[in-house]
Amino acid sequence: MSTHIDPAPEGIAAFLARDLDAPVVMLNLLRFRETADYSSCPDLDPGLEVGGRDAYATYLEHTAPFVARYGGEMLVRGSGSRFLIGPAEGWDEVLLVRYPSSRAFLEFSQDPGYFEGAGHRTAALKDSRLLPLDEAR
């Protein structure tokens, strides 16, 4: 099974081809590790075993001020489940985060302060999807 944690070059190119000044809502589908894996970011390792969901909560706590700094707001955070229509797969959690523009999302995602805690996300996730959505006009 193929998993996805970080953006692929093709996805980045497609995102950059968008209208960078238009609002965007980011749909996050998240599947957590049973136990967080801090091997790629040992400086963030809390020194005790934590679940993926808890590591992601730490990531969100770290990230919230940066989302707000760039005008973003979390619209929905909820428990996921299996698709009603679609493949027989499920997601542990779903987030919808609105940014005033795609440019604002890019600035957020490149902020050095954000990067300081982004390893909690990597440690937490077994798999994920991130889909930029244009709001209906």
Sign of the C-alpha dihedral computed for residues 84, 86, 89 and 90 taken in this order: negative
Rounded mean pLDDT, 76-98 = 92
Residue 83: what pLDDT?
86
Provide the token pair at 68. 């707000």
Q: At what angle do helices 9-16 and 102-109 cross, to 10 degrees?
A: 140
- Which CATH architecture is the domain 9-133 placed in? 2-Layer Sandwich (3.30)
Residue 137 pLDDT: 66
pLDDT in tens, 99-110: 999 999 999 999
49: pLDDT strictly greater than 70: yes
Segment 3-24 mean pLDDT: 89
pLDDT at 71 over 90: yes
Domain extents in the chain: 9-133
| Per-residue confidence (pLDDT) for residue 1, from 0 to 100 | 55
